Amino acid sequence: MNKLFDLSGRVVVVAGGAGYLASESCRALARQGATVVIADLNEERLATAVESIRAEVPGARVKGVQFDAGEETAIRALTDSTLQDFGRLDGWVVATFFSIGKRVEDLTAEEFDKANHLNITSTFLMARMAAESMSAGGSVVLFGSMYGLVSPVPQVYQPPMIPNPIEYGANKAGIIQMARYLAAHYGPRKIRVNAVAPGPFPTPQVDEKNPAFISRLAERTMLGRIGRQDELAGTVVYLLSDASTYVTGHCLRVDGGWTAW
Ligand SMILES: NC(=O)c1ccc[n+]([C@@H]2O[C@H](COP(=O)([O-])OP(=O)(O)OC[C@H]3O[C@@H](n4cnc5c(N)ncnc54)[C@H](O)[C@@H]3O)[C@@H](O)[C@H]2O)c1
């Protein structure tokens, strides 16, 4: 059984890999033996993620690359440098995101376009570049959200909070659909494409500042609690490993049951 989840010899790029959720996925991938390229815009978070994995995972093969997923040339450079350094590409995770965070009434067309570019277009370019650089057996994992499947419940976001913004869920729905489309497109080449749809995973800082909000989120889940930072990592390992070789075009919900009732 351990062999099914063994990623020794595999090379995986994690875009947005220095973030709250994806940094835990990077740690888990390194523990399973993968060579992990952590690619992120934020240099400080990148350095912290790389250092902490090197310190905690004996023999970890981790490289940090600062890049902007909004730039096609940067995506190409990241792909080329990965192939040059490691000679292969087996997995690519897209865990970046951008949102404006305004109310429906205040969002401009330019702002909506910017979100579309940074979420949808950049995910498309990364997934295509990744799939085209992989051999048969490659796996692409796109981070969607439960808000790409269901609407945020307005009552959960009580004033003065701004509700989870419209462009976020609209983009996440597009990403989930993109996983299905690309799974069909790259299926003949034996490359799998899946999405994950995380539920409520607010950071401990949100918990400290607004415990009433955390309770309202927790109440909406079947398990009665928010997700822990490390609770997505197993799903990402699964989708990149031989444990999921017949899974493609799927959207795996990791949401404590939020979207199931
Ligand atoms: N935390 C949650 O509750 C939650 C719920 C559902 C879905 N998600 C999704 O999970 C993913 C990770 O979310 P998170 O909460 O860990 O957020 P996060 O902000 O901690 O992580 C996102 C990372 O992406 C990086 N990034 C942003 N724009 C970039 C760009 N243009 N180029 C390169 N890197 C860029 C950021 O620097 C950051 O490190 C996102 O796609 C998010 O939409 C999160």
- Kindly state whether residue 204 falls inside one of the protein's structural domains: yes
To the nearest 10 degrees (0 to 180), the angle between helices 43-56 and 22-31 is 30
- ∠ CA 247-176-243, rounded to 5°: 20
| The total number of structural domains that make up the chain | 1
Percent of the chain past pLDDT 70, that is, above it, reads 100
Measure the N-to-C terminal CA separation of the chain; round to a whole number of Å: 33
Catalytic residue (one of 168, 181, 238, 246): 168
**Residue 198 alpha carbon, nearest atom of ligand 1:** 6
Report pTM.
Answer: 0.98
Q: What is the mean pLDDT of residues 186-196?
A: 98
Distance CA 141, CA 251 (A): 10
Length in residues, the chain: 261
**Residue 19 is assigned to a structural domain of this protein:** yes
* Contact 22 CB / ligand 1 (< 6 Å): yes
Averaged pLDDT, 227-250: 98
132-164 residue pLDDT tens:
999 999 999 999 999 999 999 999 999 889 999
Q: Which pLDDT band holds residue 2 (cuts at 50, 70, 90)?
A: confident
Ligand 1 pocket check for 202: Cβ under 6 Å: yes
Integer Cα distance of 41 and 17 in angstroms: 10
Q: Average pLDDT of 176-196?
A: 98
Task: Judge contact between 17 and 96, C-beta under 8 A.
Answer: no
**Cβ of 41 below 6 Å from ligand 1:** yes
Predicted local distance difference test score (pLDDT) of residue 243? 98
CATH number of the domain to which 90 belongs: 3.40.50.720
Pocket test for ligand 1, best of 43, 65, 97, 141 (most atoms within 8 A of CB): 97
The minimum-distance atom of ligand 1 relative to the CA of 46 is 39
Measure the CA dihedral 78/83/86/88, to 10°: 120
pLDDT in tens, 86-140: 999 999 999 999 999 999 999 999 999 999 999 999 999 999 999 999 999 999 9
Q: Over 70: is that where the pLDDT of 226 sits?
A: yes
User: The domain containing residue 168 runs over which residues?
Assistant: 2-256
Chain segment 33-78, per-residue pLDDT in tens: 999 999 999 999 999 999 999 999 999 999 999 999 999 999 999 9
Q: What angle do CA 39, 43, 49 make, to 5 degrees?
A: 65
With both helix axes pointing from N to C terminus, report the angle between 22-31 and 233-240 in degrees, rounded to the nearest 10: 50
Query: How many angstroms separate the Cα of 232 from the Cα of each of 73, 223, 236?
Result: 30, 15, 7
Residue 167 CA to ligand 1 center (angstroms) comes to: 15
In a domain, 107, yes or no: yes
What's the pLDDT score for residue 174?
98
Q: What mean pLDDT comes out for the span 15-19?
A: 98
Is there an atom of ligand 1 within 6 Å of 197 CB?
no
Catalytic residue status for 186: no
Q: What is the pLDDT of residue 230?
A: 97
Residue 106, in any domain of the structure: yes
| Domain-embedded: residue 261 | no
Pocket test for ligand 1, best of 24, 37, 40 (most atoms within 8 A of CB): 40
Residue 228 located in a structural domain: yes
Residue 1 has pLDDT above 80, yes or no: no
For the CA of 146, the closest atom of ligand 1 is 6
Query: What average pLDDT is seen over the chain?
Result: 97
258 lines ligand 1 (CB under 6 A): no
The answer to whether position 215 is within a domain reads yes
